[in-house]
Structure 1
Amino acid sequence: MFFKNIAEDLDAMMARDPAARSRLMVALTYPCFHAVQLHRLARPIYLAGFPTLARMISQFSRFITGIEIHPGAQIGKRLFIDHGMGVVIGETAVIGDDVTLYHDVTLGGIAPAINSAQQVNVKRHPTLEDGVIIGAGAQVLGDITVGKGARVGGNAVVIKSVPENSVAVGVPARIVMPKECGSEFAAYGIPTQDLPDPVARAIEGLLEQMTRMQGRITALESELDGFAAGTAGKAAEGNGHEQPGAEARRFGRN
């Protein structure tokens, strides 16, 4: 099983990185490979009740790879951390199979830094289901779930769960392509097709409403102008009929 997992890791990294030329290159030079193998060593030690030793291994891994994986984190098969530097995976994070992370990704907790003793063994970090891709610099925070096959764009800040097969971008992250991104691998979590901009769509909607309102205002102004003209005409006609009578009354007095 151990060697099978290693072979799967090597093949997965080669499949997702065109720069990988051979298994030997990946095994010797890819920090992701080293970090994952050291985590597989540290985690059973952590679960066996030796957290200090496990943390020493994870800190050594961080020192040589730039990738910080807490030994308490649960990691599935074929995890690929491209470039790797700056990645942080928290203690209660759960990562499924075939997940891809890029550099500077944080899977963090946002629980208050008070009453730390009460937060032991409490789920504080996110869950990434199978096939998730997290773009560079993204922060996925809190006990939330990024659904199977979902993508998170670079530098996004995700504080709410992301549905399966969706694309989330922005700060805070918004769903821009629900149920459409499919199963194809998307580098940095961004599909190759154009992404709809929710802000631009909102502005376009406002402009359309303003155009419709302007048309209605113009129509109302035309109706009011016609009404005013008709009223003025009737008033003028009324004044024309009353004037002779008024003159007759004046002559009668004289």
Structure 2
Amino acid sequence: MKRLFGTLVTDAVELARAATGAPDAKSLAKVVLTSDSYRITALNRAREAALSWHIPLVNHVLRVAQTAVMGIEIGKEVTLGRGVYFVHSLGIVIGGDSRIGDRVRFYGNNTVGTAKDNGYPIIEDDVWIGAGARILGPVRVGARSRIGANAVVLQDVPPDSVAVGIPARIFPRKDSDDIGL
């Protein structure tokens, strides 16, 4: 229980930093009380706790509630890092056993993973995933990379890169020295 509370506090601090630039008391209160992203993350943390406590029914009920109320589907085996920020949560699907790093931003209507059991993506820290982007199959998206809107990523993306297009073409980030996170 202590670990769950600590993780929720860390998530609130990271989300306040992402949303307002400063994790002061006012920003923290605003994130906790009004942010859909925080509610999604908190529900997912409760689901993770239920699984670790071997209460699968609670995980399932919370997953159904998360999908119905928040419009986001996160698989039961997905690992979310700290401070994952769902800018627009509607239509996001994260499937299988995808691993999402710390401070990853989802801009809405994203798909991560596939319906088949052929492997799932690993998204490293500080990645931004543009609106409508798809990351499919057993690929790794390197730290601090940017996935463009509507891009379809089917291959590994090195750290500090930009992936754009269908299928995604990969370019080095020109601003990687000043990542602005």
TM-score range normalised by the length of the shorter chain: 0.7 to 0.9
SS of the equivalent of 2:7 reads helix
- Partner of 2:129 in structure 1? 134
- Partner of 2:145 in structure 1? 150
- Partner of 1:230 in structure 2? none
Q: What does 1:1-254 align with in structure 2 at a 5 Å threshold? A: 1-18=3-20, 22-47=27-52, 49-109=54-114, 111=116, 119=117, 124-176=119-171, 178=172, 180-182=174-176, 184-185=179-180
- Partner of 1:243 in structure 2? none
Equivalent pair of 1:109/1:126 in contact (CA under 8 Å): no
SS of the equivalent of 2:77 reads coil
Equivalent pair of 2:4/2:45 in contact (CA under 8 Å): no
Report the alpha carbon displacement of residue 4 of structure 1 after superposing the two structures with TM: 3.1
Q: Distance in 2 between matches of 1:19 and 1:93?
A: 28
Q: Distance in 2 between matches of 1:38 and 1:56?
A: 11
In terms of fraction of residues, the more strand-rich structure is 2
* Percent of matched pairs sharing the same residue: 33
Q: Distance in 2 between matches of 1:83 and 1:163?
A: 25
Runs of 4+ in 1 over 6 A off after TM superposition: none
Equivalent pair of 2:83/2:102 in contact (CA under 8 Å): yes
- Residues 185, 64 of structure 1: alpha-carbon distance in 2 compared, 3 angstrom cutoff: farther
In terms of fraction of residues, the more helix-rich structure is 1
Report the alpha carbon displacement of residue 75 of structure 1 after superposing the two structures with TM: 1.2
Residue by residue, what CA displacement relative to the aligned partner does 1:10-65 show, whole Å, maximum 9, x if unpaired? 22222222499622222122111111111111123335555443122111112221
Q: Distance in 1 between matches of 2:58 and 2:6?
A: 26
Q: Distance in 2 between matches of 1:169 and 1:131?
A: 17
Q: Which range is displaced more, 35-44 or 5-14?
A: 5-14
Q: Distance in 2 between matches of 1:43 and 1:5?
A: 11
Structure-2-length-normalised TM-score: 0.85
SS of the equivalent of 1:17 reads helix
* One-letter amino acid of the counterpart of residue 53, structure 1: V
* One-letter amino acid of the counterpart of residue 5, structure 1: T
Q: Distance in 2 between matches of 1:87 and 1:26?
A: 20
SS of the equivalent of 1:40 reads helix
Query: What is the RMSD computed on CA atoms of the aligned residues?
Result: 2.3
Q: Number of residue pairs matched?
A: 175
Gaps of 5+ in 1: 112-118, 187-254
Report the alpha carbon displacement of residue 179 of structure 1 after superposing the two structures with TM: 5.2
Q: Distance in 2 between matches of 1:15 and 1:59?
A: 29
Tell me which of the two structures has the higher relative contact order, counting C-alpha pairs closer than 8 angstroms and 6 or more residues apart: 2
Structure-1-length-normalised TM-score: 0.62
Q: Which range is displaced more, 84-93 or 49-58?
A: 49-58
Gaps of 5+ in 2: none
* One-letter amino acid of the counterpart of residue 23, structure 1: L
